[in-house]
């Protein structure tokens, strides 16, 4: 039975983790993720979960211990933010290349420096080539739903890759929302028990994991990883459908909002999509054909869906909540622009770096982007590279 | 489950276990680590005084000893470093380094 609850994003993630009841969690606190593992440690102390909770001395150790637990065959999780994930960096790659289905909430926060604890996407963007699947949420409901689906996606025999479940720091993690939670049995039936192909505690078929791998086979193992990432798109679609049949809440690689006849569109990740939807509704009342493409799965990148959703538009603004210092917009901008390259006719595509270090994104902020797009459609000059709302 | 024993040097990504997992642990002993040496030690028995200093110094345990006597070199694991040749105390060296055939 569903329960409607008022939860913050962090509480929603912790609730999902309680229902997942993983075998092992190794974690270290960091703002704004701290609450997730703090709440989870309460569940452990109160006997509400069977999890072995390992309090480690750093995030590098958190990910390393999670890797060990996952390699042993258990369902293992951790959670982090920003500098914490930066400190996990090298082991993120190990988790992915060892093909361990670890699921990790990442509560997105700006990377230092200057030191800042608020939301942007520089942490997750930096790990986009690490081999982790990346799911993104617009609100606490989606963070909850994504986290549970992530377990199935990660452990699917066609995938066996780790999944990062992103949620905007403070904006979602500390904002209270009404959301639906499923009951424990529903979740436990949905996720089932992990059935690893290989694991270290299988004494009948002993194996070695993570050995040295040089010129003769490293390349083949990377190709296996790339193939698994490519296959994961279909698995994500399939599991999203199952989740919809179970809960009524629908997910895909991306979400199109009022895109059918849209002439101008924004592409974005995370909580900003909610703001954009309100802006679109207002603009539509004024007759402006505005739309939104919200990316739910950033890795693997939904290139065909993007091309299909945007090909008929006249101008597109891609919003990146991180600077990547390429002097060519943000990572999402470049991926979207590249996805459109094969289209016979393609929209003008411009980049907006926005909301860095938690800078507020209001309706006015978004409306300004749509105004720029309208000017672009009219043939006026709008720069390709923009830093939205910065004092310059 | 793919079996490492069947893995040929030209096996494809689809034929090998994922992530470099070794399904036959302990198989390092089947791996001939001496195949990349550029110089080969050759034992000259008539000069040898069986002091076994080469056995002590060889970093790869390649010096074979039987009944207290140096009886040969296991070229499957010898890496050709030449330490045995260097430490051999006989005036005319009892181990010489040669080019491989
Ligand atoms: S060449 Fe080096 S590895 Fe080979 S037998 Fe002599 S000391 Fe050992
Ligand atoms: S060090 Fe020279 S003399 Fe001594 S056992 Fe080895 S080969 Fe013989």
Q: Whose CA is nearest to atom 3 of ligand 2?
A: B48
Q: How far apart are CA A277 and CA B47, in angstroms?
A: 90
Report helix, strand or coil for B38. coil
- DSSP for A78-94 reads --B-HHHHHHHHHHHHH
Cis amide linkage into residue A272, ω under 30° from 0: no
Task: Say if A124 falls within a structural domain.
Answer: yes
Q: Count of A–B CB contacts within 8 Å?
A: 51
- Give yes or no for B1 touching A (CB within 8 A): yes
Enumerate residues 23 to 62 of chain B having a beta carbon within 8 A of any beta carbon in chain A: 23, 25
Question: Does A223 sit within 8 Å of B20, measured CB to CB?
Answer: no
- pLDDT, residue B76, reads 94
- Which residues in chain A touch residue B25, judged by CB atoms under 8 angstroms apart? 206-208
Between the CA of B101 and the centroid of ligand 2 the distance, in Å, is: 23
**Quick check: B19 contacting A, CB < 8 Å?**
yes
Q: Which helix (H) or strand (E) holds A106?
A: strand A103-108
Instruction: Please tell me the predicted confidence (pLDDT) of residue B5.
Output: 60
Q: Which two tokens stand for residue B40?
A: 């080969």
The model's confidence at residue B6, banded by pLDDT at 50, 70 and 90, is low
To test the contact with chain A by mutation, choose from B3, B21, B28, B33 the residue with the greatest count of A C-beta atoms within 10 A, namely B21
Looking at the structure of chain B, the number of domains it has is 2
Nearest CA in chain B to A199: B21
State mean pLDDT over B31-37: 87
CATH number of the domain that residue A381 is part of: 3.40.50.920
What is the average pLDDT score of chain B? Answer: 92
C-alpha span between A1 and A71 (Å, rounded): 34
Instruction: Look up the CATH number of the domain holding residue A158.
Output: 3.40.50.970
CA–CA separation, A71 vs A59, rounded Å? Answer: 18
Report the separation in Å between the CA atom of B28 and the middle of ligand 2, taken as the mean of its atom positions: 28
At A87-103, the pLDDT tens digits run 999 999 999 999 999 99
Which residue among A217, A247, A277 closes a domain?
Answer: A247
Q: 10 Å Cβ neighbour count for A36?
A: 31
Low-confidence ranges of chain A (pLDDT < 70): none
pTM across the whole model: 0.91
Task: Name chain A contacts of B8, Cβ cutoff 8 Å.
Answer: none
- With beta carbons less than 8 A apart as the criterion, state whether A181 and A3 touch: yes
Residues A70 and A150 in one domain: yes
Task: Give the ipTM.
Answer: 0.87
CA distance A353 to A319: 6
Chosen for mutation from A211, A212, A213, A225 (greatest number of chain B CBs closer than 10 Å) is A211
Whether residues A272 and A194 fall in one domain: no
Closest CA to A307 of A344, A339, A267: A339
Q: Which of A196, A219, A247 is a domain's end point?
A: A247
Per-residue pLDDT of A203-262, as tens digits, reads 999 999 999 999 999 999 999 999 999 999 999 999 999 999 999 999 999 999 999 999
Cβ–Cβ gap A209/B19 under 8 Å = yes
Domain that holds residue A48: 3-247
**Token representation of residue A175:** 């904002």
A70 and A186 fall within a common domain: yes
Find out whether the beta carbon of B96 lies less than 6 Å from any atom of ligand 2.
Answer: no
CB A223 to CB B13 under 8 A?
A: yes
**B13 reaches A (C-beta below 8 A):** yes
Task: Name the token pair of A118.
Answer: 């608020």
Chain A residues bordering chain B (beta-carbon distance below 8 Å): 97-99, 160, 197-198, 205-211, 213, 216-218, 220-221, 223-224, 227-228
- Give residue B56's domain range: 33-101
* Ligand 2 atom index nearest CA of B51: 4
Q: A208–B21: do the CB atoms touch at under 8 Å? A: yes
| Residue B43, domain CATH | 3.30.70.20
Would residue A327 count as lying in a domain?
yes
User: What is the count of structural domains for chain A?
Assistant: 2
Ligand 1, atom 4, residue with closest C-alpha? B78
A267 and A222, same structural domain?
A: no
Give the residue from A302, A253, A295, A294 showing the smallest Cα distance to A276: A294
Q: Are residues A83 and A207 both part of a single domain? A: yes
Question: Given this model, what pLDDT does residue B1 score?
Answer: 46
Q: Which of A225, A247, A269 corresponds to the end of one domain?
A: A247
Of B1, B11, B22, the CB nearest to A211: B22
Label residue A192 left, alpha or beta by phi (over 0 means left) and psi (-120 to 50 means alpha): left
Same domain, A293 and A160: no
CA dihedral A301, A237, A152, B14 (to 10 degrees): -70
For ligand 2, pick from B44, B65, B70, B85 the residue to mutate: most ligand atoms within 8 Å of CB: B70
A264 and A242 in a common domain: no
pLDDT for position A266: 98
Query: Is B92 touching A (CB cutoff 8 A)?
Result: no
CB pair distance less than 8 Å for B21 and A209: yes
Query: Ligand 1 center to residue A57 CA distance, Å?
Result: 44
B10 CB within 8 Å of a chain A CB: no
> Does one domain contain both A132 and A261?
no
Selecting from B20, B22, B23 the residue whose C-beta is nearest the C-beta of A221 gives B20
Q: Is residue A49 part of a domain?
A: yes
Peptide bond before A113: cis, by omega within 30 degrees of 0?
Answer: yes
Long-range contacts from A244-250, C-beta under 8 angstroms, 24+ separation: A246/A182, A246/A186, A246/A190, A247/A2, A247/A145, A247/A180, A247/A182, A249/A141, A249/A145, A249/A180
- Statement to judge: residues B49 and B26 lie in one domain: no
Find the closest chain B residue to A95 by CA distance. Answer: B19
Instruction: Give per-residue pLDDT as tens, B50-98.
Output: 999 999 999 999 999 999 999 999 999 999 999 999 999 999 999 999 9
Q: Which atom of ligand 2 is nearest to the CA of B52?
A: 5
Rounded to whole angstroms, how far apart are CA atoms A122 and A320?
A: 9
- For chain A, say whether B12 makes contact (Cβ under 8 Å): yes
Q: So what's the pLDDT on residue B3?
A: 54
């Amino acid at each position: 039975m569903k329960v409607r609850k008022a939860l913050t994003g962090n509480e929603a993630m912790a609730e999902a983790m309680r229902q997942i009841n993983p075998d092992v969690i190794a974690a270290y606190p960091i703002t704004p993720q701290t609450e997730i593992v703090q709440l989870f440690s309460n569940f452990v102390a109160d006997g509400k979960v069977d999890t072995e909770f390992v309090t480690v001395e750093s995030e590098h150790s958190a990910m390393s211990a999670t890797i060990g637990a996952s390699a042993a065959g258990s369902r293992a999780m951790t959670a982090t933010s920003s500098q914490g994930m930066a400190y996990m960096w090298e082991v993120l790659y190990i988790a992915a290349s060892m093909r361990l289905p670890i699921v990790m909430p990442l509560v997105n926060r700006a990377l230092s420096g200057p030191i800042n604890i608020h939301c942007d996407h520089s942490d997750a963007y930096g790990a986009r080539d690490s081999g982790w699947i990346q799911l993104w949420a617009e609100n606490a409901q989606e963070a909850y739903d994504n986290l549970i689906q992530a377990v199935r996606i990660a452990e699917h025999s066609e995938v066996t890759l780790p999944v990062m479940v992103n949620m905007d720091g403070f904006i979602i993690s500390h904002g209270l929302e009404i959301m639906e939670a499923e009951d424990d049995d529903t979740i436990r039936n949905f996720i089932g028990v992990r059935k690893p192909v290989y694991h270290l505690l299988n004494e009948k078929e002993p194996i070695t994991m993570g050995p040295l791998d040089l010129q003769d086979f490293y390349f083949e193992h990377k190709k296996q990883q790339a193939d698994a990432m490519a296959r994961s798109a279909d698995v994500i679609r399939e599991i999203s459908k199952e989740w919809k049949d179970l809960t009524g809440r629908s997910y895909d690689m991306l979400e199109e909002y009022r895109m059918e006849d849209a002439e101008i569109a924004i592409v974005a990740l995370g909580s900003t999509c909610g703001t954009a939807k309100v802006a679109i509704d207002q603009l539509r009342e004024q007759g402006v054909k505005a739309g939104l493409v919200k990316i739910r799965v950033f890795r693997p990148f939904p290139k065909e869906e993007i091309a299909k959703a945007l090909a008929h538009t006249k101008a597109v603004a891609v919003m990146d909540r991180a600077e990547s210092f390429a002097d060519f917009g943000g990572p999402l901008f470049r991926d979207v622009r590249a996805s459109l390259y094969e289209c016979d006719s393609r929209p003008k595509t411009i980049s907006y770096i926005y909301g860095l270090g938690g800078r507020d994104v209001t309706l006015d902020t978004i409306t300004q982007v749509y105004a720029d797009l309208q000017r672009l459609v009219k043939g006026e000059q709008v720069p390709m590279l923009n830093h939205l709302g910065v004092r310059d | 489950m793919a079996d490492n024993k069947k893995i040929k040097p030209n096996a494809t990504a689809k034929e090998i276990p994922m992530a470099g997992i070794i399904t036959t642990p302990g198989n390092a002993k089947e791996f001939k680590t001496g195949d990349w040496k550029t110089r080969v030690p050759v034992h000259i028995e008539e000069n040898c005084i069986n002091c076994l200093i080469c056995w002590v110094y060889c970093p790869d345990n390649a010096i074979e000893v039987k009944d207290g006597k140096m009886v040969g070199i296991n070229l499957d694991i010898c890496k050709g470093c030449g330490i045995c040749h260097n430490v051999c105390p006989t005036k005319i060296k009892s181990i010489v380094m040669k080019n491989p055939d």
